[in-house]
């Protein structure tokens, strides 16, 4: 008997589990379109990871009653939302929009550092690579933002029976050569790319 409905075509493409989120220097790696960050750049244990690729569409309608004829994208954005469990000075600095690849943040340890409150400014640019390993352990997907900023209304929810997880959003920003600090390597993909290996 033939099976019906959405039957699995390739079990190796099923996504289960979280991506490892790696954050590092944007400017020094801006010309590289492949992964450059390693597991040492990981922000550690996570409660969640979620990619969103938002697009606003303009739609042409005509006739009576109006019917849709055509649509065109007029705005595009990409972001990675995650919630980190390791409440370290460097991760909290990242949540506050700091480039954790530079001093003083790069010299922080798991329990040594400082985060100034009441002195926020524009978020620093960082490079983000979300490295996902498929359950079979042999295929990989990378979401790469060569130039990104972190936005967060920082919440540290302490609980008696569960680990705290601080949610942040890492938003892709333009990295093409028309942008100061950008590079021609990103002219055809100004917000970054997703690639599989």
Instruction: State the pLDDT at residue 103.
Output: 94
Instruction: State the pLDDT at residue 2.
Output: 82
Instruction: State the pLDDT at residue 152.
Output: 87
Instruction: State the pLDDT at residue 160.
Output: 93
57 strand-pairing partners: 73
Q: Please give the mean pLDDT across all residues of the chain.
A: 96
Longest dimension (CA), the chain: 67
- Which stretch of DSSP H or E encloses residue 89? helix 89-95
Three-state secondary structure call for residue 95: helix
Instruction: State the pLDDT at residue 97.
Output: 96
Residue 87 has pLDDT above 90, yes or no: yes
Kindly report, residue by residue over 109-159, the tens digit of the pLDDT.
999 999 999 988 999 999 999 999 999 999 999 999 999 999 989 999 999
Kindly report, residue by residue over 90-105, the tens digit of the pLDDT.
999 999 999 999 999 9
Tokens matching residue 56: 């606003």
Where b means 16+ CB within 10 Å and e means fewer, 24-62 reads bbbeebbeebeebbeeebbbeebeebeeeeeeeeeeeee
Short-list 151, 162, 17, CA closest to 87: 162
Kindly report, residue by residue over 37-56, the tens digit of the pLDDT.
999 999 999 999 999 999 99
In this structure, the strands spanning 126-133 and 140-151 are antiparallel
- Which stretch of DSSP H or E encloses residue 49? strand 46-62
Instruction: State the pLDDT at residue 38.
Output: 97
């Amino acid at each position: 008997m033939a099976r019906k409905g959405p039957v699995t075509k390739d079990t190796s493409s099923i996504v289960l589990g979280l991506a490892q989120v790696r954050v590092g220097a944007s400017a020094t790696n801006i010309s590289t379109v492949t992964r450059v960050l390693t597991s040492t750049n990981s922000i550690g244990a996570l409660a969640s990871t979620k990619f969103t690729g938002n697009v606003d569409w303009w739609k042409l309608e005509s006739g009576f009653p109006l019917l849709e004829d055509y649509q065109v994208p007029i705005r595009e954005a990409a972001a990675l939302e995650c919630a980190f469990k390791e409440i370290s000075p460097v991760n909290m600095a990242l949540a506050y929009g700091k480039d954790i690849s530079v001093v003083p943040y790069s010299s922080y340890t798991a329990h040594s550092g400082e985060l100034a409150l009441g002195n926020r400014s524009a978020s620093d640019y960082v490079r983000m690579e979300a490295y996902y390993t498929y359950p079979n352990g042999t295929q990989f997907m990378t979401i790469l933002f060569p130039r990104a900023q972190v936005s967060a209304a920082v919440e540290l929810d302490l609980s008696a029976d569960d680990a705290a997880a601080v949610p942040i959003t890492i938003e892709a920003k333009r990295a093409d050569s028309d942008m100061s600090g950008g590079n021609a390597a990103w002219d055809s993909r100004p917000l970054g790319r997703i690639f599989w290996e």
